[in-house]
Amino acid sequence: MGTVTGVPHEHAEQQASGERSVVSVHAWGRSPGLFTDLYQLTMAQGYVAAGVSDTEACFHLSFRENPYGGGYALACGLEQALDYLEALSFAPADLEYLSTLTGNDGAALFSAEFLGYLESFRFEGDVDAIPEGTVVFPHEPLVRVIAPIPMCQIAETALLNIINFQTLVATKAARVCQAAGGDPVVEFGLRRAQGPDGGLSASRAAFVGGCRGTSNVLAGRTFNIPVSGTHAHSWVMLFPSESDAFRAYAEAMPNNATFLVDTYDTLAGVRRAAEEGRRLREAGYEMIGVRIDSGDLAWLSREARAILDEAGLSAARIVASNELDEHLITSLKDQDSAIDLWGVGTKLVTAYDQPALGGVYKLSAVREPGGEWEPRIKVSEQTAKVTMPGRLGVRRYFDAGGRPAGDMIYDVGHPPGEAPMMVDPADPTRRKRFESCERFEELLVPAIRSGTRVYGHPPLPEIAERARTQLAAIDPSVKRFLNPHSYPVGLERSAHALRMRLIVLARAREGGGREG
């Protein structure tokens, strides 16, 4: 790894003036209407044909289990999700393509009436969301969407795509940075990421989760993230000797001299790097450090530290890479490694060992024009898949010391009273009261009203700082990697009672009850 630098000030000014990030339009061009699953469009046509396209619906985006066997997740991806909703439309070329699709009888799949509906389609609903960088937990609505049912439906796939992945990577980055114990972590997994859009989104999410920089130059330019990098093994292999390679690199990049030392013999490479470091100092420069990409990283880093210190290069950093994750970093720290900076790639940007967050987007209430909201529920044989009805909000309560004491999910039409109590949806006998809590915070905030963004999205460094503050406030038992403590999350008691009533009614109405 090399020096960590910023991006041109000109780009920062462009972002400040409202330039949209390229990740917002890269996958779909300027009209993102086709960035969806086909069944969203077939359902939307069905709503139009059935005459119910003006029916308002409330959907919630949430996840069912904490990723990586951990105790929390870190919300991320909201800015790109709002960019998508603001741009949501269908270009003439999109409609032309849709007109070519056919059903199993060879006739047109989409009617002229529906294509006319899409021609002027824009998202005109309301969105409330939990700000990026917030610590969140299963079943909590990260996003609440209220709009005519076709708009809610068409937006589903993209919202899940954007928020699922970035939340997953931001959470992984937070875990990796926790394991590093304050040492800087740099993300450089672009070459292993799931395509260009996955690589760009991963770099952004990793920065939110705590990484100090990225090797991804496009992410640096797009998001104003510090970029970092030096040379590869191929550089060393090109020259007659390792010494020649280091000298040539130092002469070409004297202000970016971190030498990759494990091409042939790691400790011999460190000694050659130290020789070049002394030459750089004589020329008025300082070597940044050495990078070790293979072998016994704990032992090699300690030996490398001794060689560099003996050469008078005590400020030179030792950078480690090679398939690192939170568990390997924890092991290396336990072995008293001398590593100063961690370069984490593949296992971060691919969210290694959990390929998907498993977020869902479920209908929870409907309202006819001019009518009252009616709750809706999905009932399943699996308890975890039974949805929560109503228009949901989330309150986070804080104890006398200012630490989070628990989160309550409630129906915004029936907010908690003076004696708030929540019920664990997985075990109704477990309940928690919050009378002694001195304050609470509403986690969902207004983001879009009638199709117009009202949320002033903070700069990325502020989001990353929010994540650090949020993580610091959560009890360490929730953040531990092995058997983390379960943070209290539950339904407000009247919301729980409504859910149970609807479950009984749904099973009775649809004949889903069991005999015996």
pLDDT (tens digit, 9 = 90+) per residue, 404-434? Answer: 999 999 999 999 988 899 999 888 899 999 9
Q: How far apart are CA 144 and CA 127, in angstroms?
A: 6
Q: How far apart are CA 208 and CA 73, in angstroms?
A: 12
Question: What pLDDT, on the 0 to 100 scale, is given for residue 139?
Answer: 96
pTM tops 0.85, yes or no? yes
Both structure tokens of 405: 């004491």
Nearest to 226 by CA among 461, 17, 467: 461
Beta-sheet strands, E only, within 368-458? 374-375, 392-398, 404-411, 421-423, 431-433, 439-442, 445-449, 452-453
Q: How far apart are CA 439 and CA 434, in angstroms?
A: 9
Long-range contacts of 380-383 (CB under 8 A, 24+ apart): 383/426
Residues 14/20/25/31 CA torsion (nearest 10 deg): -120
Question: What pLDDT, on the 0 to 100 scale, is given for residue 22?
Answer: 43
The band of 380, judged by pLDDT with boundaries at 50, 70 and 90, is confident
The band of 511, judged by pLDDT with boundaries at 50, 70 and 90, is low
Element of type H or E holding 187: strand 185-187
Q: How far apart are CA 203 and CA 414, in angstroms?
A: 40
Mean pLDDT over residues 474-494, rounded? 96
Taking 70 as the threshold, does the pLDDT of residue 17 lie above it?
no
Nearest to 78 by CA among 144, 175, 143, 17: 143
